[in-house]
């Protein structure tokens, strides 16, 4: 074992290392808390001054992370900064930055590249750089490797480079950062060894793979598996609806088979920072190899069509009540992308709101987790969450159940809404004013 590698591994095993986490969002913040909780010093780096200021004041900006946890971390040495020069102090730099799609549905690598450029001048011997952002196979080798080596450091000897995809599931009480196994791929065997030393302190189980490319594709396979199966059940939903069959009843029945079937449930479309986006990373990269990933793209088309399907079912329901879509007052229930969280990234609810507004509806929303519609890069609504009272529900021509938060009073909604368009299967008993979508 080389002296540099031995020193790096030793620092992580003794927990004397300073962990630098670049990007303090839904992935970076829980990771910071985990390393802090087991005795590491942690430095958070983010370009968002407001975020950094709030963290240093002991505040949280993510609903499921209590402010108390941030305050405890501050008291035990955590600090946040916008100063990238301080990357030189860190023994590990873990990059947790967004990888969205651009308007052409192609990977937008600007956050990863800009972050790597920002830390590049401050890289030094003995550090490890870990990319956690979901991306296409080859990103670590093609984008990070040359930049990390630009200053004369050799990866695998002087500095270490790994890819270890994030696996967060916000709002899921059954899993936390510590208990979700961690896949790690190193650029060299030495990189992998240092990467294991970094993560095995904080995560119960690490899963080494042979390369950064294998780790990158592992993350994509996980999310494509989910996207394809949701696409399948969304297509089945449309077929079942035409046949007068409740798809949720069918999935529940099929799920009793103890082998060979995994239950996926339909909805109004796909949301979140991974499932709607990641398949396009692979389809884009596959074209470089002359391959056309038809299966993946087809599921993407099906899932992308779901908000339109929900709106068409709403039109049918209003039509039965002798009302047109234009001019109708519609309340969208739940605008986070999944139940019981405040995360709105890629939420199909917002797309439904935009479709309705474009067709002349008067749109409002109710979401106990999102009191005010936030500023978003692509979506603009100057709205606050509506109170769910009997009187308020009755004032709308229709309500669209888009995200099935546990905090909603479903019996109140059933009793007082004039028309319910249910995209989540909450209402199983057929009623004249409830439409499955």
Q: Residues 322-358: pLDDT tens digits?
A: 999 999 999 999 999 999 999 888 899 999 999 999 9
- 249-436 topology per CATH: Rossmann fold (3.40.50)
- Report the percent of the chain where pLDDT is more than 70: 98
Q: What is the reported pLDDT for 367?
A: 98
Torsion angles phi and psi, residue 296, rounded to 5: -65, -45
Q: Which of 191, 185, 11 is nearest to 90 (CA)?
A: 11
Kindly report the CATH class assigned to 3-210: alpha beta
Burial per residue of 149-188, b for 16 or more beta-carbon CB atoms within 10 angstroms, e otherwise: beeebebbebbbbbbbbbbbebbeeeeebeebebbbbbbb
pLDDT tens-digit series, residues 125-141: 999 999 999 999 999 99
Beta carbons of 279 and 299 less than 8 angstroms apart: yes
Which of 90, 96, 191, 274 is catalytic? The answer is: 274
Token pair of 132 as six digits: 């956690």
346: left (phi over 0), alpha (psi -120 to 50) or beta: left
**pLDDT for 171 beyond 80:** no
pLDDT tens-digit series, residues 34-76: 999 999 999 999 999 999 999 999 999 998 899 999 999 999 9
**pLDDT for 288 beyond 80:** yes
Q: What is the reported pLDDT for 102?
A: 79
Nearest 5°: the CA angle 155, 158, 164 is: 50
Answer yes or no: 274 catalytic.
Answer: yes
Write a three-state SS string for the chain: CCHHHHHHHHHHHCCCCEEEEECCCCCHHHHHHHHHHCCCEEEEECCCHHHHHHHHCCCCCCCCCCHHHHHHHHHCCCEEECCHHHHHHCCEEEECCCCCECCCCCECCHHHHHHHHHHHHHCCCCCEEEECCCCCCCHHHHHHHHHHHCCCCCECCCEEEEECCCCCCCCCCCCCHHHCCEEEEECCHHHHHHHHHHHCCCCCCEEEECCHHHHHHHHHHHHHHHHHHHHHHHHHHHHHHHCCCCHHHHHHHHCCCCCCCCCCCCCCCCCCCCCCCHHHHHHHHHHHCCCCCHHHHHHHHHHHCHHHHHHHHHHHHHHHCCCCCCCCEEEEECCCCCCCCCCCCCCHHHHHHHHHHHCCCEEEEECCCCCECCCCCCCCCCCECCCCCHHHHHCCCEEEECCCCCCCCHHHHHHHCCCEEECCCCCCCCCCCEEEC
Token pair of 70 as six digits: 């941030």
pLDDT tens-digit series, residues 369-396: 999 998 876 777 999 999 999 999 999 9
318: left (phi over 0), alpha (psi -120 to 50) or beta: alpha
- 135-163 average pLDDT score: 97
**pLDDT for 78 beyond 80:** yes
Beta carbons of 185 and 163 less than 8 angstroms apart: yes
- Spatial neighbors of 177 by CB under 8 A, at least 6 apart, are 30, 31, 33, 34, 168, 202, 203
Q: What is the reported pLDDT for 1?
A: 61
Q: Which of 334, 342, 360 is nearest to 421 (CA)?
A: 334
Beta carbons of 405 and 369 less than 8 angstroms apart: yes
**pLDDT for 274 beyond 70:** no
How far is the C-alpha of 423 from the C-alpha of 120, rounded, in Å?
A: 47
All structural domains of the chain with their residue ranges: 3-210, 249-436
């Amino acid at each position: 074992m080389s002296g540099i590698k031995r020193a790096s591994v030793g620092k992580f095993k003794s927990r004397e290392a300073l962990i630098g986490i670049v990007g303090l969002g839904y992935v970076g913040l829980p990771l910071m808390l985990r390393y802090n909780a087991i005795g590491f010093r942690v430095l958070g780096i983010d370009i968002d001054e407001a975020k950094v200021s709030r963290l240093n004041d002991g505040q949280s900006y993510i609903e499921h992370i209590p402010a108390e946890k941030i305050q405890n971390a501050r008291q035990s040495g955590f600090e946040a900064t916008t100063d990238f020069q301080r990357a030189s102090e860190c023994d590990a730099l873990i990059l947790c930055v967004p990888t969205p799609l651009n308007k052409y549905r192609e990977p937008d690598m600007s956050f990863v590249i800009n972050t790597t450029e920002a830390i590049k001048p401050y890289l030094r011997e003995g550090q490890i750089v870990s990319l956690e952002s979901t991306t296409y196979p080859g990103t670590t080798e093609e984008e990070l490797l040359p930049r990390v080596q630009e200053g004369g450091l050799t990866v695998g000897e002087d500095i270490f480079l790994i890819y270890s995809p994030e696996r967060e599931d916000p709002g899921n009480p059954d899993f936390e950062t510590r208990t979700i196994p961690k896949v790690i791929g190193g650029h060299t065997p030495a990189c992998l060894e240092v990467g294991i030393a970094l993560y095995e302190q904080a995560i119960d189980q690490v899963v080494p793979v042979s390369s950064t490319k294998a780790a990158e594709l592992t993350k994509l396979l996980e999310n494509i598996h989910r996207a394809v199966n949701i696409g399948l059940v969304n297509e089945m939903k449309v077929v079942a609806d035409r046949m007068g069959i409740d798809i949720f009843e069918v999935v529940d029945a099929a799920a009793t088979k103890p082998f060979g079937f995994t239950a996926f449930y339909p909805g109004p479309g796909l949301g979140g920072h991974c499932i709607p986006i990641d398949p396009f990373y692979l389809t884009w990269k596959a074209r470089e190899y002359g391959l056309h990933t038809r299966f993946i793209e087809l599921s993407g088309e099906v899932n992308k069509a779901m908000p339109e399907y929900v709106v068409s079912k709403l039109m049918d329901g209003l039509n039965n009540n002798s009302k047109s879509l234009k001019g109708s007052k519609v309340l969208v229930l739940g605008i986070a992308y999944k139940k019981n969280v405040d995360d709105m990234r890629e939420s199909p609810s917002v797309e439904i709101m935009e479709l309705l507004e474009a067709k002349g509806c008067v749109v409002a929303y109710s979401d106990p987790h999102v009191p005010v519609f936030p500023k978003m890069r692509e979506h603009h609504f100057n709205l606050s969450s509506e109170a769910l009272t009997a009187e308020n529900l009755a004032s709308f021509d229709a309500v669209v159940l888009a995200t099935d938060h546990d905090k909603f009073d479903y019996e109140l909604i059933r009793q007082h809404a004039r028309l319910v368009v249910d995209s989540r299967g909450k209402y199983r008993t057929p009623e004249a004013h409830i439409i499955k979508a």
